Structure 1
Amino acid sequence: MTDSKSSRLDDLVARSRQDQAERERGYREQALKMYPWVCGRCGREFTRANLRELTVHHRDHNHDNNPSDGSNWELLCLYCHDNEHQRYTDATPGTGGSAAGPSATHNPFAGLADLLNRDDHSK
C-alpha cells in the first residue's frame, strides 16, 4: 500500500473512531441523566468516583438504535455488560456458541444399522 493510501486509511479509521466516541458520549450522558446510577442486573450502586464502570447496554444490541426516550438502553456495570454480550454471542447461531452449549460430534449409533442388518445377527 502506498503512503498516501495508508495515510488516508489511517485518517478514515481515526475519524470513524472519533465519531463513534462522540455518539457514545451523547447517549451515555442522556442515559446517566435519565436513569439511577445502579446496575440493572446486579444492583451495584455507583457514585461519581466509580461512574466510569457503569456502561450503557443496548437491549437490542444495535448501537445505532438510540431513541431519545431511552427505551433501548439499560445501565449495566462492566462485568454484567460483558456477561450480557457473552450470553448473546453464545445464543446467536453462527457465532460458535449456542444456548445449549457445544454440539456433540460423536454418534454412538453410527454403525448400528450395519450391525442390525448383518446376516449372522439371528444367532
Structure 2
Amino acid sequence: MSTPDHDRLDRIVAEARRARDEREQGYRERALKILPWICGRCAREFTRENLHQLTVHHRDHNHDNNPADGSNWELLCVYCHENEHARVIDSAGRGSAPDSVPPATHQPFADLRARLNGKD
C-alpha cells in the first residue's frame, strides 16, 4: 500500500473550495440565497433533495443582466421554465404563414353535390 501524496490532496481540496466559491458567486447560487425555493408559476416547493429541478429564469431573457438584488430573476421549476420559453417562441410568430405564400384555391368538395346527385 502506497502512502498518499498529501501535497496533491491539499491542491485538490483547495481547487474544489475555489471552484465552490466561484459557483457561489454565480447568479444561480445568489438567486437561491435570496429567493424562496418555490416555483414562481406553479408554487411547487423545493428541498435540497430536488433543488436541481429549480432553475433561474431571467425575466428580460438577458443572461448577462444579473443585478445584485435579483430583480431580473425568477425561480421556476424545469417544467414551468420550459413552458415560459416555449410561450416566448410561440408569441414571436413561429408557425405563422409568410406573406409571400399565396392563399389556397383548391376546393376539394366543389362538385360533391353533383356527384352525390348523380348516384341517385
Q: Which runs of 5+ in 2 are unaligned?
A: 1-21, 106-120
Q: Which runs of 5+ in 1 are unaligned?
A: 1-21, 110-123
The alpha-carbon deviation at position 55 of structure 1 amounts to 0.2
Q: Which amino acid aligns with 1:62?
A: N
The alpha-carbon deviation at position 102 of structure 1 amounts to 3.0
What count of residue pairs does the alignment treat as equivalent? 83
Q: Which residue of 2 aligns with 1:82?
A: 82
Whole-angstrom CA distance in 2 between matches of 1:39 and 1:46:
8
The alpha-carbon deviation at position 103 of structure 1 amounts to 3.2
- Greater radius of gyration (CA): 2
Q: Which amino acid aligns with 2:97?
A: S
Contact persistence 2:28–2:56 (CA under 8 A): yes
Alignment of 1:1-123 (within 5 A): 26-92=26-92, 97=94, 102-103=96-97, 107=103
How far does the alpha carbon of each residue in 1:37-93 deviate from its partner, in whole angstroms, 9 at most, with x for none? Answer: 000001110000000000000000000100111000000000000110111112225
With over 3 angstroms needed to count, the CA separation of the structure-2 counterparts of 1:24 and 1:82, relative to structure 1, is: farther
TM-score by length of 2: 0.60
Q: Which amino acid aligns with 1:103?
A: A
Whole-angstrom CA distance in 2 between matches of 1:26 and 1:64:
11
Whole-angstrom CA distance in 2 between matches of 1:23 and 1:62:
19
Contact persistence 2:23–2:29 (CA under 8 A): no
TM-score by length of 1: 0.58
Q: Give me the identity figure in percent.
A: 67
RMSD over equivalenced CA pairs, Å: 2.6
